[in-house]
């Protein structure tokens, strides 16, 4: 619960823990498909993220030998605490993949029942499982059993498949059963699967979920793009923490700003020099991970396009990033739009 000190304007913020994993500040980086690789996580930690999740991984990909598996199972010493998020449809694969993630060094195993993407739903994964309580519960029970107390297990949920009473009943059936199975925390996105990313995330639903869960740990998700959004949803819902997803792409500064707003200060707009420092750091981390410089530049460009939202000339800056194909061009955009300015 958040309490504001009238005299100082500061908020009393509870410390977040997931099972036996101490997180600290209750605003964390979500799993972001195609984005939250090691480079993004390292940058986020540099700017105050106390916990981050790897991008979602299909359970079968974890179990298949090859470079993809090696990349997923690489957890360096500076990437802690870190969550590994799994998605799939077969309960037995989930359990085996979870065990591999634990052996690799992930601190938390997260299960994705929230993805609303059409091709994911068509393969009976992600948000599809919110409409299949028996399968969803079986998956969670098997994963909890497979890690046998070695790591806490968390689950990412949406508000339901759609707005129907039947869908909501299935949500709470799953919620109660997975907490009973031993899940340490849940993250709940306030939109339905049918909504995808349209319309507003329901703060009222998040408030009802936290009230229903009681002392059990619930993290809020959805429409968290600024520090003010994060503090507002925590205050309105009573949730124990918040996972920042799209709001963290190209904006690692959001984590420091959460600290600032909680302390009674205003959020800070990063200077152009600070933005350039973060962008260059992101590329440097990508280059550390990838021997192919062009691939590292391509991966970082996706983030740089989002960093452009913070630039005073956002559209021109975004368009310039879209043309970058090599390291020299990357540096040229940094000089033209950040250093020169």
Structure confidence at residue 10 (pLDDT): 64
Structure confidence at residue 124 (pLDDT): 97
Contacts of 134 (CB under 8 A, 6+ apart): none
| pLDDT tens profile 85-113 | 999 999 999 999 999 999 999 999 999 99
Contacts of 132 (CB under 8 A, 6+ apart): 124
Structure confidence at residue 6 (pLDDT): 44
Structure confidence at residue 5 (pLDDT): 54
Contacts of 158 (CB under 8 A, 6+ apart): 113, 114, 116, 127, 130, 188, 189, 191, 192, 193
Under 8 Å between Cβ of 110 and 81: no
CA dihedral 331, 334, 339, 341 (to 10 degrees): 140
Half-sphere exposure of 155 (CA within 13 A, CB side): 30
Structure confidence at residue 65 (pLDDT): 85
Structure confidence at residue 9 (pLDDT): 59
Specify whether 317 is catalytic. Answer: no
| pLDDT tens profile 23-45 | 999 999 999 999 999 999 999 99
DSSP output for 270-320: PPHHHHHHHHHHHHHHHHHH-S-HHHHHHHHHHHHHHHGGGSTTHHHHHHH
Structure confidence at residue 251 (pLDDT): 98
**DSSP 8-state code for residue 335:** I
Give pLDDT < 70 ranges for the chain. Answer: 1-11, 340-341
CA dihedral 304, 308, 310, 313 (to 10 degrees): 160
Structure confidence at residue 2 (pLDDT): 55
Q: Which of 115, 239, 317, 334 is catalytic?
A: 115
Structure confidence at residue 238 (pLDDT): 95
């Amino acid at each position: 619960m958040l309490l504001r000190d009238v005299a100082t304007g500061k908020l009393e913020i509870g410390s977040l823990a997931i099972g036996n994993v101490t997180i600290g500040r209750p605003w964390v980086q979500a799993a972001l498909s195609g984005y939250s690789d090691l480079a993004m996580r390292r940058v986020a930690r540099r700017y105050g993220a106390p916990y981050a999740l790897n991008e979602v991984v299909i359970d079968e990909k974890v179990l298949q030998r090859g470079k993809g598996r090696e990349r997923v199972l690489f957890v360096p010493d500076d990437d802690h605490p870190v969550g590994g998020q799994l998605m799939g449809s077969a309960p037995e694969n989930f359990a085996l993949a979870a065990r591999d993630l634990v052996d690799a060094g992930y601190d938390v195993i997260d299960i994705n029942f929230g993805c609303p993407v059409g091709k994911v739903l068509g393969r009976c994964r992600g948000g599809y499982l919110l409409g299949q309580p028996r399968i969803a519960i079986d998956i969670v029970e098997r994963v909890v059993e497979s890690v046998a107390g070695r790591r806490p297990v968390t689950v990412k949920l949406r508000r339901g498949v759609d707005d129907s009473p039947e869908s909501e009943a299935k949500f709470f059936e799953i919620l109660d059963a997975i907490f009973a199975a031993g899940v340490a925390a849940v993250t709940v996105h306030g939109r339905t699967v049918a909504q995808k990313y349209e319309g507003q995330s329901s703060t009222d639903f998040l408030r009802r979920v936290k009230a229903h869960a009681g002392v059990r740990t619930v993290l809020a998700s959805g429409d968290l793009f600024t520090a003010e959004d994060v503090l507002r949803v925590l205050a309105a819902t009573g949730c124990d923490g918040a996972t920042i997803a799209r709001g963290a792409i190209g904006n690692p500064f959001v984590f420091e700003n959460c600290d600032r707003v909680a302390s009674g200060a205003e959020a800070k707009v990063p200077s152009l020099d600070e933005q350039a420092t973060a962008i260059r750091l992101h590329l440097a981390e990508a280059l550390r991970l990838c021997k192919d410089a062009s691939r590292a530049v391509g991966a970082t460009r996706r983030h740089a396009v989002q960093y452009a939202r913070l630039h005073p000339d956002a559209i021109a800056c975004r368009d310039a990033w879209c043309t970058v194909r090599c390291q020299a061009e990357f540096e040229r955009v940094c000089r033209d739009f950040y250093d020169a300015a």
